Amino acid sequence: MLLFSSIVACNAGADWKKSLGLGKEKVSYLHFYFHDIASGTKNAMALIVAMADTTITSPTFFGMLNVVDDPLTQGPAITSKVIGRMPGIYALASQPEFSLFMGLNFLFTTGEFNGSTLTMIGRNPTMENVREMSIVGGSGAFRLARGFLLAKTYSANTVTRSFVVECEFTVIHY
């Protein structure tokens, strides 16, 4: 009965937005970089936590699971101003190509969006020049967010498994 009452209240018009403390819908464009520094280095922020028995023989490392807590920076240099962090997980989830399944939160720690998050989930075919992934939610200033992220590899060091990725977001939120 309570679930039915909630559904009826949401269909009552724009009052549901007001009851959630939401303002007018707007679009934000964000641009920054994340630094994925892999395990085995002194400053590792991406760690392998599991892999299948066959992962080591797979040409695409199929079955490897990683956790991350990467810094977000204004510019591509690791010494650029840190604006947040990117905690989450990703798995190498394709046998024929290098492709990740990613579930990430972008946590902003400075500026206009300090304390807010964006949540991204989706497929990242890493060998493509530009990859598009879905923004499926957020918190704080990004409550009920939706949109997309375009990711481009800015630099890659396959020996140390360290990558800098440029991110351009288009986000609809309240």
pLDDT by position in tens, the chain (length 174): 444 444 444 555 557 777 777 788 999 999 999 999 886 667 778 888 999 999 999 999 999 999 999 999 999 999 999 999 999 999 999 999 999 999 999 999 999 999 999 999 999 999 999 999 999 999 999 999 999 999 999 999 888 788 999 999 999 998
Yes or no: say if 39 and 46 are a contact pair by the CB < 8 Å rule.
Answer: yes
CATH 2.40.480.10 corresponds to the domain 22-173:
yes
Query: What does the domain layout of the chain look like in residue ranges?
Result: 22-173
Contact 165, 151 (CB under 8 A): yes
